[in-house]
Amino acid sequence: MSPIDVEFERARTPGVGDAHHLNAAGAALPSARTLAAVTEQLQLEARIGGYEAAHAVRPRLDGLYALAGNVLGAAADEIALTESATVAWQRAVDALRLGRGDRVLVSRSGYVSCALHLLTLERERGVVVELLPCGEDGALDLDALAASLEAGPAALLVVTHVPTSSGLIEPVAAAGELARLHGVPYLVDATQSAGQLPLDAAAIGADLLVATGRKFLRGPRGTGVLVVRRGLLERLAPTAPDVRGAEWTGERDWTLVDAARRFETWEGSHALRLGLGVALAELDGLGVASVSEHLGAASDRLRGELSALPGVRIADPAGAAGSAIVTFTVDGMPARDVAAQLAVRAVHVVSVPASHGRWDLEPRALPAVVRASIHVYSDDGDLNALRDGVAALARLSVAPRAELAGAASGNGASANGSAAGAGAGAAGA
């Protein structure tokens, strides 16, 4: 593995000069080449037309499947391009045709959009959604998962590799072994892990895997990826076939493409996908293992420095070590206010409310957390700006409480003094 050259990454990332961008888990900053790939294709479309421009870059578009496969650990024909991870998730889950009584086992680290999809299936179709408990480290309890799988047939196991609400890293490989042992289809949500952690869909036993381009892959918004394992593909068909993934062969007949591309739609932004291709190639060039080692060390340092600040509490479970996501709270200040005040200092983080990760945050009695997330362009100046900004906010939050406590103490002392004086005067008189 080669070390990450942070200064080189900053030099090819235009956005680093505008603020301390610590929101890679929301939308990472793209490189100049990624940005150029998008804008140049839009300009080409404007000059010669959309169809013609697509034809001109067809080899690059076709090569995107292999690039995504290299990063995610899948064959090119197991890759489908979508508009987001949520779209990929919906198409994959709907293709399973889950029905009444089907058990879906889910880790508590699930994202709101995925949770709402499953809960809708439960409410409208009678699917049974079973939340799996966590162990002492906050991660999926593998013994509980094994017991649930042994209790009866399950239609699907869903595990979120890294949640939106903390830096927790779920044991996706171990969960995959259990799913494979019981013959249960296994879906991994890699939205927050793809690009920051090594991923090999085949090695972890994922039958289905979803990822987004805009986060740690550093691609444009409006891009997503779905991985469908070849062995499961023949059992799945999209609920709404499209000309991109199917051929209308007769008046009432059609055939599906023999690849994950059957889950794509014909309409999509070629410009955005070309940008994703550049981002994937740059990530592959750096090596995900090198990126992961670098980000893990930097975020662990940040987590330690924030935890040392008075009034600041790290919200990450123990299983977050090595994750590029750090979550925390500041005593006496709502997470939303912390994020807003940091933005005034040109430090970009986000507040994640419990409504975005209720299965995770609610049991931990956290109404919201502040989330900071770094990438290869994050330097010491960025991390120090966050640390110093949080320290300042923590002092401001503590000061009013200290003043109130002091005032109350002072008022009490004054009252006691007045009473003593009155008593003494009465006695002297």
CA distance 199 to 180: 18
pTM (predicted TM-score): 0.91
Specify the 3-state DSSP secondary structure of 232: helix
Task: Give the residues of the chain that fall short of pLDDT 50.
Answer: 403-405, 407-408, 411-429
CA distance 261 to 301: 41
6-27+287-386 carries CATH number 3.60.15.10: no
- Domain segments of the chain as ranges: 6-27+287-386, 32-286
Closest by CA to 237, choosing from 258, 209, 210, 214, is 258
pLDDT at 400: 59
Closest by CA to 260, choosing from 74, 59, 114, 94, is 74
State the Cα angle at 327 between 402 and 29, rounded to 5°: 125
CA distance 288 to 275: 18
Specify the 3-state DSSP secondary structure of 156: strand
32-286 carries CATH number 3.40.50.510: no
Going by C-beta distance under 8 Å and a sequence separation of 6 or more, which residues neighbour residue 407? none
Instruction: Please say whether the beta carbons of 368 and 349 come within 8 A.
Output: no
Joined tokens for residue 43: 């300009």
pLDDT at 366: 98
Instruction: Please say whether the beta carbons of 161 and 169 come within 8 A.
Output: yes
Give kind and range of the element (H or E) at residue 313.
strand 312-314
Going by C-beta distance under 8 Å and a sequence separation of 6 or more, which residues neighbour residue 188? 159, 160, 161, 172, 176, 201, 204, 206, 208, 209, 210
pLDDT tens profile 339-397 = 999 999 999 999 999 999 999 999 999 999 999 999 999 999 999 999 999 999 999 98
Joined tokens for residue 260: 């994950």
CA distance 112 to 2: 37
pLDDT tens profile 264-307 = 999 999 999 999 999 999 999 999 999 999 999 999 999 999 99
pLDDT at 163: 98
